Protein backbone atom coordinates (compact mmCIF):
# COMPACT_ATOMS: atom_id res chain seq x y z
CA UNK A 1 0.00 0.00 0.00
CA UNK A 2 1.48 3.31 -1.08
CA UNK A 3 0.60 6.88 -0.22
CA UNK A 4 -0.22 9.91 -2.35
CA UNK A 5 0.66 13.15 -0.54
CA UNK A 6 -0.66 16.50 -1.71
CA UNK A 7 0.83 19.48 0.11
CA UNK A 8 1.74 18.70 3.70
CA UNK A 9 -1.81 18.04 4.89
CA UNK A 10 -3.60 15.80 2.37
CA UNK A 11 -2.70 12.11 2.20
CA UNK A 12 -4.39 9.12 0.55
CA UNK A 13 -3.51 5.45 0.88
CA UNK A 14 -3.37 3.86 -2.58
CA UNK A 15 -2.20 0.38 -3.56
CA UNK A 16 1.34 0.57 -5.02
CA UNK A 17 0.34 -0.69 -8.49
CA UNK A 18 -2.49 1.83 -8.83
CA UNK A 19 -0.26 4.59 -7.45
CA UNK A 20 2.41 3.90 -10.09
CA UNK A 21 -0.21 4.26 -12.85
CA UNK A 22 -1.58 7.45 -11.29
CA UNK A 23 1.95 8.86 -11.10
CA UNK A 24 2.46 8.33 -14.86
CA UNK A 25 -0.86 10.01 -15.74
CA UNK A 26 -0.36 12.89 -13.31
CA UNK A 27 3.22 13.37 -14.48
CA UNK A 28 2.16 13.48 -18.14
CA UNK A 29 -0.57 16.05 -17.42
CA UNK A 30 1.77 18.28 -15.40
CA UNK A 31 4.56 18.00 -17.96
CA UNK A 32 2.12 19.56 -20.45
CA UNK A 33 1.21 22.28 -17.94
CA UNK A 34 -2.36 20.98 -17.53
CA UNK A 35 -4.34 21.29 -14.28
CA UNK A 36 -7.15 18.93 -13.25
CA UNK A 37 -9.10 17.50 -10.30
CA UNK A 38 -8.03 14.24 -8.65
CA UNK A 39 -10.70 12.52 -6.54
CA UNK A 40 -10.62 9.48 -4.25
CA UNK A 41 -12.64 7.88 -1.47
CA UNK A 42 -11.27 8.47 2.01
CA UNK A 43 -10.70 5.56 4.32
CA UNK A 44 -13.21 5.05 7.15
CA UNK A 45 -10.44 5.83 9.66
CA UNK A 46 -10.38 9.44 8.42
CA UNK A 47 -14.12 9.90 8.22
CA UNK A 48 -14.97 8.03 5.02
CA UNK A 49 -16.42 10.18 2.24
CA UNK A 50 -14.74 11.57 -0.84
CA UNK A 51 -11.95 14.09 -1.37
CA UNK A 52 -10.96 16.10 -4.44
CA UNK A 53 -7.79 18.15 -4.90
CA UNK A 54 -6.87 20.53 -7.72
CA UNK A 55 -3.64 19.28 -9.26
CA UNK A 56 -1.57 22.00 -10.93
CA UNK A 57 2.03 22.34 -12.20
CA UNK A 58 3.28 23.99 -8.99
CA UNK A 59 1.53 21.52 -6.65
CA UNK A 60 3.62 19.85 -3.95
CA UNK A 61 3.16 16.12 -4.72
CA UNK A 62 4.81 13.08 -3.20
CA UNK A 63 4.32 9.41 -4.17
CA UNK A 64 5.44 7.02 -1.40
CA UNK A 65 5.74 3.33 -2.32
CA UNK A 66 6.05 0.60 0.28
CA UNK A 67 7.13 -2.04 -2.24
CA UNK A 68 10.63 -2.00 -3.70
CA UNK A 69 9.82 -3.00 -7.30
CA UNK A 70 8.31 -0.83 -10.01
CA UNK A 71 5.35 -2.65 -11.59
CA UNK A 72 4.88 -3.27 -15.31
CA UNK A 73 2.55 -0.67 -16.77
CA UNK A 74 -0.89 -1.61 -18.10
CA UNK A 75 -1.36 0.63 -21.15
CA UNK A 76 -5.14 0.16 -21.21
CA UNK A 77 -5.38 1.32 -17.60
CA UNK A 78 -3.12 4.31 -18.32
CA UNK A 79 -5.37 5.31 -21.24
CA UNK A 80 -8.54 5.04 -19.13
CA UNK A 81 -6.98 7.07 -16.31
CA UNK A 82 -5.74 9.70 -18.80
CA UNK A 83 -9.19 9.89 -20.38
CA UNK A 84 -10.74 10.49 -16.95
CA UNK A 85 -8.10 13.14 -16.13
CA UNK A 86 -8.97 14.95 -19.38
CA UNK A 87 -12.71 14.93 -18.62
CA UNK A 88 -14.67 17.50 -16.63
CA UNK A 89 -14.98 14.97 -13.77
CA UNK A 90 -11.21 14.66 -13.42
CA UNK A 91 -8.92 11.79 -12.48
CA UNK A 92 -10.11 9.14 -10.04
CA UNK A 93 -8.91 5.74 -8.85
CA UNK A 94 -10.55 2.97 -10.88
CA UNK A 95 -10.21 -0.80 -11.12
CA UNK A 96 -7.50 -2.15 -13.39
CA UNK A 97 -8.88 -3.45 -16.69
CA UNK A 98 -7.23 -6.26 -18.65
CA UNK A 99 -4.34 -4.95 -20.74
CA UNK A 100 -4.96 -4.99 -24.48
CA UNK A 101 -1.90 -5.28 -26.74
CA UNK A 102 -1.20 -2.00 -28.59
CA UNK A 103 1.64 -0.24 -30.34
CA UNK A 104 3.32 3.03 -29.34
CA UNK A 105 4.87 4.32 -26.16
CA UNK A 106 3.37 5.18 -22.79
CA UNK A 107 4.57 8.80 -23.12
CA UNK A 108 2.14 9.31 -26.01
CA UNK A 109 -0.87 8.97 -23.70
C-alpha span between 81 and 21 (Å, rounded): 8
Phi–psi pair at 71, nearest 5 degrees: -75, 160
What digits encode the pLDDT tens for the residues 75-97? 999 999 999 999 999 999 999 99
For residue 106, the model assigns a pLDDT of 56
Give the model's pLDDT for residue 80: 97
Query: How many independent structural domains does the chain possess?
Result: 1
List, in order, residues 6 or more apart from 40 with CB less than 8 Å away.
4, 12, 14, 50, 51, 92, 93
Residue 77 falls inside a structural domain = yes
Full residue range of the structural domain in which residue 63 is found: 2-97
Residue 109: is its pLDDT beyond 70?
no
109 lies in some domain: no
Residues 13-64 have pLDDT tens digits of: 899 999 999 999 999 999 999 999 999 987 777 677 888 999 999 989 999 9
Could you tell me the pTM of the whole model? 0.84
Domain for residue 104, yes or no? no
Q: Is residue 107 part of a domain?
A: no
pLDDT of residue 107: 55
Amino acid sequence: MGRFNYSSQVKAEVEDRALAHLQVVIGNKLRRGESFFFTWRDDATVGDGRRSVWIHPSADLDFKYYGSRAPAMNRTWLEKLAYAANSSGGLFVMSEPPDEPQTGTIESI
